[in-house]
Amino acid sequence: MPVMPENVKTRILFRSTFVNIYLVRYPEGHKVSPHLDMIAQGRLYKLNCVLVKPKEGGEFLCEKNIFNLFGRVILFRPDCYRHRVSTIERGNRWLLSFALTTR
């Protein structure tokens, strides 16, 4: 996972061996560079629910999604496909993220 500045706020809502749930606030001016999420073994799936879209920018881009509903609910394999978020030009981006690891 890329290094994020201190102003990104991540709250762990649930953590277990196979499932993690996070609430994340990305502030104006933040971006996420293209990357893969590396895991030691198994497959990683993420279901991201964009709770609040920024007024401008902050678009999620991925090489391949399993599904993407209106840019709000996105299921993808972050361990297989590069993904990123464009610069948030105005406003904040709030994300509820479910990460599922299978063996």
Residue 1 pLDDT grade (very low, low, confident, very high; cuts 50, 70, 90): very low
Is the pLDDT at 5 greater than 70, yes or no? no
Is residue 18 one of the residues assigned to a domain?
yes
Is residue 3 one of the residues assigned to a domain?
no
Is residue 1 one of the residues assigned to a domain?
no
Burial class for 70, CB neighbours closer than 10 Å (0-12, 13-18, 19+): exposed
* Boundaries of domain holding 34: 9-102
pLDDT digits (tens, 9 = 90+) for 46-96: 999 999 999 999 999 999 999 999 999 999 999 999 999 999 999 999 999
Is residue 2 one of the residues assigned to a domain?
no
Domain count, the chain: 1
Is residue 74 one of the residues assigned to a domain?
yes
Mean pLDDT of all residues in the chain? Answer: 94
Is residue 87 one of the residues assigned to a domain?
yes
